[in-house]
Structure 1
Amino acid sequence: MHLHFSLNADLNAFSGSVLNIAECCLLPSNHPKREDDSVAIVWRGEGCDDSPVNQMTLKELREQVMLVANALDATFSKGDAIATDMPMTVYAVVIYLAIILAGCVVVLIADSFAAREIAIRLRVSNAKGIFTQDFILRGGRKFSLYSKVVEAVPVKAIVLPAIGNDVSIQLREQDLSWNDFLSSVSHLPRANYYSPVYQPADSVINILFSSGTTGEPKAIPWTQLSPIRCSSEQWAHLDVKVGDVNCSPTNLGWVVGPALVFGCFLNGVTLALFHGSPLGCSFCKFIQDTEVTTLGTVPSLVKTWKRTNCLEGLDWTKIKSFVSTGEASSVDDDLWLSSKSYYNPIIECCGGTELAASYIQGSSLQPQAFGAFSTASMTTGFVILDEHGVPFPDNEACVGEVGLFPVSLGSSDRLLSADHEEVYFRGMPMHKGMRLRRHGDIIKRTIGGYFVVQGRADDTMNLGGIKTSSIEIERVCDRADESILETAAITVAQIDGGPEVLVVFAVLKPGFKCQPDKLKMTFTKAIQSDLNPLFKVSFVKIVTEFPRTASNKLLGRVLMDQAKLELSVKSRI
């Protein structure tokens, strides 16, 4: 890490210091046990279960990143925003680090988004180009990705092949294949060497998006402090160290993706990447063959593994801890998962893109309870507020909205597409002389001192670990069928625990009739086309009108109670 210290010896001694956080990931000098020939990344493709695991050493990774950084200089300008929209492959990680090394800003877009959502993110970030793939291979199926990018925006695209050494489709005139992009620096005598661009710690390195409580996604910049937060949190809560192997099925478009990259490379941990779907036996065998020591999960994934029995005959006993995030966990499923590795702990983690990590976690230093959190994350603090905005005493069992302490390492201090002060602070109560920060979770503190997240205080939804808003869902459903007058979308917990499910209440126009099951299919198809192909409607309830207050505010709690009753009835059938 290249830091140029100020001569000022007061509390501002680090003002004027500069670094490049990507370079910090690539140097062996950060760890006494880490060498150039240490394995940095291991990976394997779906369906290649009997093939050797691919490996990339730290030196090889550094040379690949520097090669791409040189090619970026030949194609873009310093400071440009450059997007990535592709699966989390070894190439995606190389590109991500290279953009930061070159002094540009990465715009991270999840590969599951529809063309409209890609276009919004490229427009908000003013991206000058985008890295993508021709296709996505997942679950034995082939999905076009380049065509969505072409539909979304006219900016230059650099296209990587999903299979083989070159793309298998015709590109637009302004676009480049991966091979052509790299060939722009093939004449350089030292194409694998690059002098990093050093910037202040508060300079922006990437932009992530979170829907939050509004229809327009919030553009959240991460500074160079955000990766330090990610890595320190994983070191403190998960006890990761040099020689460990970390895997989490995710995408760079979600907070877990970049957090995983920095958590591994800044701690000297090997990053394990599976090129394909995490739902089947191929992924589970990959975890065994790479001897993963920390495995990130999502509760819906665990439920699928358990239901399909795809761990049968596999050895997961190298795993020291599991990390669960994105959804509410099922205690029964967690017990099953933990049993696969000598009943090692499952560390619950809950946070947000704007926090660069979590605000509440489990800890390897404390006894853990399935489906619960044991402590505030390192560098953070919070209180639980009653309905009047008054904090409950710290040792009292209670339920209320969480209020975060306003300062935590690496968390956001600006938004590109919204007013940061308005979104996170305005209207929040004071506590011990500081204005609390809004997050939106309702949490319960148990008699034993553990914490359980109870849902959202606003109308933000969590579908399969992806945050969206009821406004976005309802906007799509309202225009999905000519019979619809208005809709209301809510999420409710399943009777047996686990991730929440999406329920849509619908009021029909006068004179129209429609079956709930038909609307369920119509709504699901529209949502998957316009918002995200991973979303689905669990059931539709047709009502004559919505319950509202005297001021015409929708009584969501009444609808939620109706939905819970419907789920209860369905579970008994």
Structure 2
Amino acid sequence: MASIESVSVEDLALTGIPRALSLELHRQLQGILAHTCGSPAHTWQMICKEILLPSHPFPLHQLLYYSTYQNWDGTKMGPPPVWMPSLETARATNIGQCLERHGRELLGPVYKDPITSFSAFQTFSVDNAKVYWSLLLEELAVKFHVEPECVLDTDNLDECPGGRWLPGATLNVAECCLRAHHARKDEDIALVWRDEGKDDTPAETTTFGELREKVSQVAIALEICGFSKGDAIAIDMPMTIWAVIIYLGIVLSGCVVVSIADSFAACEIQTRLKISDAKGIFTQDIIVRGTKSIPLYTRVMEADGPKAIVLPGSGSELAVALREGDVSWNEFLGKALQTDKSGDYKAVPVSVDAFSNILFSSGTTGEPKAIPWTHLTPLKAAADAWAHHDIRAGDVVSWPTNLGWMMGPWLIYAAFFNNASIALYNGSPIGLGFVKFVQDAKVTMLGLVPSLVKGWKRACNGFDYDWSSIRCFSSSGEASNEDDYLWLMGRAQFKPVLEYCGGTEIGGAFATGSMLQPQALSTFSTPTMGCRLFLLDSGGIPLPPDEAGVGEVALDPIFLGGSKILLNADHYDVYFKGMPCFKGLRLRRHGDEFQRTPRGFYRALGRVDDTMNLGGIKVSSVEIERICNIAHPSVLETAAIGVPEAGGGPEQLLIVVVLKESSDAVSNELLKQKFNATIQQKLNPLFKVASVAVANSLPRTASNKVMRRMLRSQFGTLNKL
């Protein structure tokens, strides 16, 4: 591709725009080049501002971006910036306003402005954690019933490697999300939603006052039904307004949410109910997606779970008959409405270390890790949203997700602690209905997983929707594709995509983007506030912090919100055993492999262990292999690995198969069909095998462990098959 100076009128016309427009854009481009004097970053910023529109064909965006950075030396300069903050926008952010008020007090005379001093503030947030988190607790308007003895106690790091945060404090994080205060009024909008199929009707809304009333009714009904403080209660339903209300009601009552994704098969539901010892479960009779009706309550019955409270998935009446002992949503809620209790339910105060939510993350043993969130963990989610996603009062936040995955609870706390609204679309997030909802709800922060962007690109032939209200995107769950995200940014007049990488056991991220730093495609620009990360070389030694290189991610263990216990595994063995020490601290294992580029950007290179991300869901290779090994009588053994497509992007599932010697000939396509049918029936209907490769044997270590990393290296991308 030619450099930007060499782009001609003919080159512009070949992207699919009329010749008259090509002439006009070429004239504008020449003016920009004369003004920017050879600075690629400045040139690109002006092209975004003065030339490119969401309605322009994507090949035009690609031509101008790649031509601008044709001569960019990434080996010395790192990845090229695709978005750069102005000082005006930086000062308007949450961190910018904080630094303008307290910058000199916190950082001393070196403080200059929010952009120049951001990295120094990030370092300060780690080195002076007590000061930083005292500031954040005030910003988030956290209400304690009993004030903490201190912010952080590090007296016994051998017993508690992450330190004791806010010791002695009691609070209720659901109460913090709901209460009125100086920055949130009862009449402010809490929820904006729309049902699929009603895409031309106005979006519906619920105020914070109405939300608090509905959440109180749930908490009262739970109490009347005999649930008590500390009881685990599951939610297995789509991310609707009622799911949000039920979630907050469970937490407000001092009970513990058990998160179960609505896509799980009965056996997976059963496993999670058993591990958590759930005393009850909220679910729907069916899930309606377009013309399809997907049974959900049936799976809960097959899981032989506890007492179920069943909501209608469509209309006001249930579409199924309930088993003995289960109750309908109307009957359940009626228990609260029939009492003489009025006003707000008084939140049950609990210790900051009490469980609020039990979530599940795939391990490498076939059984999901049960990770409890305490009442501290949501503060990490809310703080990340404040500091990095810049969520604030008046914002509308949308993130297509589910309460079964950490981003569901994250969304609730990220929005409500920061006095923003949540936008929920009850339907498929891939189609034009959701795209239009983003426009109509005036979403300001749109979260996603990369596979959604591919769906939107296919659905949007041209782009006739107004996403100008968006201030930023955020991407989590899997590796992203640069071209896809260039397309995405172009839909919202080149607003930044903040990559966000962490885990359920963190309650948020350890690496992310920032509205105060230049952003590059598919990269992270900073460790999160309050977090220090290390890249370990092959010998387990941390690379120098300013040195480019590749290594396994390890974390400084002292950060607020990190897990301290697993319900079904040894927490120390999983996260600390065998890890190196740094300045007397044993580092915390994470398991991702990262690249640090020149100028301090980071790229995620995938897992170093045997798990993968499929559509934003982390899953163990062992879980998939256990199912594929019995999918067809010709299969001797399998290895499941995640590999990207050519050009990068989300991991695709590749099954490497060893066949029995005595087996009849069987095609790869038939095996692929069998694997897909079995995985979707027994594990998760959202998982899909992209390709199958047959091998004579699987590479193994001396201790007979399958070397999946070698297979990933062998196949590299799907186009190598």
Query: Structure 2-normalised TM-score?
Result: 0.77
Corresponding residue of 2:144: 3
The CA distance in 2 between the partners of 1:193 and 1:3, in whole Å, is 18
The CA distance in 2 between the partners of 1:192 and 1:176, in whole Å, is 25
Corresponding residue of 1:65: 215
The CA distance in 1 between the partners of 2:632 and 2:239, in whole Å, is 36
For 1:446-495, what per-residue CA distance to the aligned partner results, in whole angstroms no more than 9, with x for missing partners?
Answer: 12310001011110111111011111111000011111111111111111
Corresponding residue of 1:537: 689
Corresponding residue SS for 2:336: coil
Corresponding residue of 1:253: 404
> Conserved in 1, the CA contact under 8 Å of 2:145 and 2:349?
no
For 1:354-393, what per-residue CA distance to the aligned partner results, in whole angstroms no more than 9, with x for missing partners?
Answer: 0001110001111000100011111111110000000111
Match 1:523 to one of 642, 654, 675: 675
The CA distance in 2 between the partners of 1:419 and 1:158, in whole Å, is 33
Would you say 1:493 and 2:634 are equivalent positions? no
Corresponding residue SS for 1:185: helix
CA drift at 1:9: 8.0
CA drift at 1:411: 1.1
Change (3 A) 1:351 1:166: same
CA drift at 1:5: 4.4
> Conserved in 1, the CA contact under 8 Å of 2:166 and 2:352?
no
The CA distance in 2 between the partners of 1:2 and 1:564, in whole Å, is 50
Q: Say how many residue pairs are matched.
A: 567
> Conserved in 2, the CA contact under 8 Å of 1:281 and 1:310?
no
For 1:530-566, what per-residue CA distance to the aligned partner results, in whole angstroms no more than 9, with x for missing partners?
Answer: 111010111111122223344433332332244236x
RMSD between superposed Cα atoms in Å? 1.6
CA drift at 1:164: 1.2
For 1:197-246, what per-residue CA distance to the aligned partner results, in whole angstroms no more than 9, with x for missing partners?
Answer: 00111111110000132211111110111111111111100111100100
The CA distance in 2 between the partners of 1:296 and 1:355, in whole Å, is 18
Corresponding residue SS for 1:514: coil
Question: Structure 1, unaligned stretches of length 5 or more?
Answer: none
> Conserved in 2, the CA contact under 8 Å of 1:219 and 1:417?
yes
Corresponding residue SS for 1:413: coil
CA drift at 1:14: 5.4
Corresponding residue SS for 1:98: helix
Change (3 A) 1:199 1:215: same
Corresponding residue SS for 2:483: helix
Where does 1:270-281 land on structure 2 (aligned, <5 Å)?
A: 270-281=421-432
Corresponding residue of 1:464: 615
For 1:289-317, what per-residue CA distance to the aligned partner results, in whole angstroms no more than 9, with x for missing partners?
Answer: 00000000111110111122167211001
CA drift at 1:7: 9.8
Would you say 1:341 and 2:487 are equivalent positions? no
Query: Structure 1-normalised TM-score?
Result: 0.96
Corresponding residue SS for 1:28: coil
CA drift at 1:423: 0.5
CA drift at 1:8: 6.4
> Which one-letter code corresponds to 2:255 in the other structure?
C
Corresponding residue of 1:49: 199
CA drift at 1:182: 1.1
Corresponding residue of 1:263: 414
The CA distance in 2 between the partners of 1:11 and 1:508, in whole Å, is 56
Corresponding residue SS for 1:480: coil
Question: Structure 2, unaligned stretches of length 5 or more?
Answer: 1-141, 154-164
CA drift at 1:500: 0.9
Corresponding residue SS for 1:448: helix
> Which one-letter code corresponds to 1:364 in the other structure?
M
Match 2:251 to one of 52, 75, 100: 100
Change (3 A) 1:422 1:11: closer
Corresponding residue of 2:138: none
CA drift at 1:90: 0.2
CA drift at 1:108: 0.7
> Conserved in 2, the CA contact under 8 Å of 1:130 and 1:158?
yes
Corresponding residue of 1:411: 562
> Conserved in 2, the CA contact under 8 Å of 1:305 and 1:311?
no
For 1:239-277, what per-residue CA distance to the aligned partner results, in whole angstroms no more than 9, with x for missing partners?
Answer: 111001000000011010000000111100011011011
Where does 1:101-140 land on structure 2 (aligned, <5 Å)?
A: 101-140=252-291
**Structure number with bigger Rg:** 2
Corresponding residue of 1:220: 371
> Which one-letter code corresponds to 1:419 in the other structure?
D
Would you say 1:90 and 2:241 are equivalent positions? yes
CA drift at 1:79: 1.8
> Conserved in 1, the CA contact under 8 Å of 2:700 and 2:706?
yes
Corresponding residue SS for 2:505: helix
For 1:36-85, what per-residue CA distance to the aligned partner results, in whole angstroms no more than 9, with x for missing partners?
Answer: 10001000001111111110001000000001100000112222110000
Higher helix content, 1 or 2: 2
For 1:514-536, what per-residue CA distance to the aligned partner results, in whole angstroms no more than 9, with x for missing partners?
Answer: 11100000001101111110101
Corresponding residue SS for 1:506: strand
Corresponding residue SS for 1:159: strand
The CA distance in 2 between the partners of 1:346 and 1:205, in whole Å, is 30
Where does 1:116-515 land on structure 2 (aligned, <5 Å)?
A: 116-309=267-460, 312-512=463-663, 513-515=665-667
The CA distance in 1 between the partners of 2:333 and 2:148, in whole Å, is 42
> Conserved in 2, the CA contact under 8 Å of 1:362 and 1:368?
yes
CA drift at 1:6: 5.9
Corresponding residue of 1:23: 175
The CA distance in 2 between the partners of 1:444 and 1:526, in whole Å, is 36
CA drift at 1:10: 9.8
CA drift at 1:191: 4.4
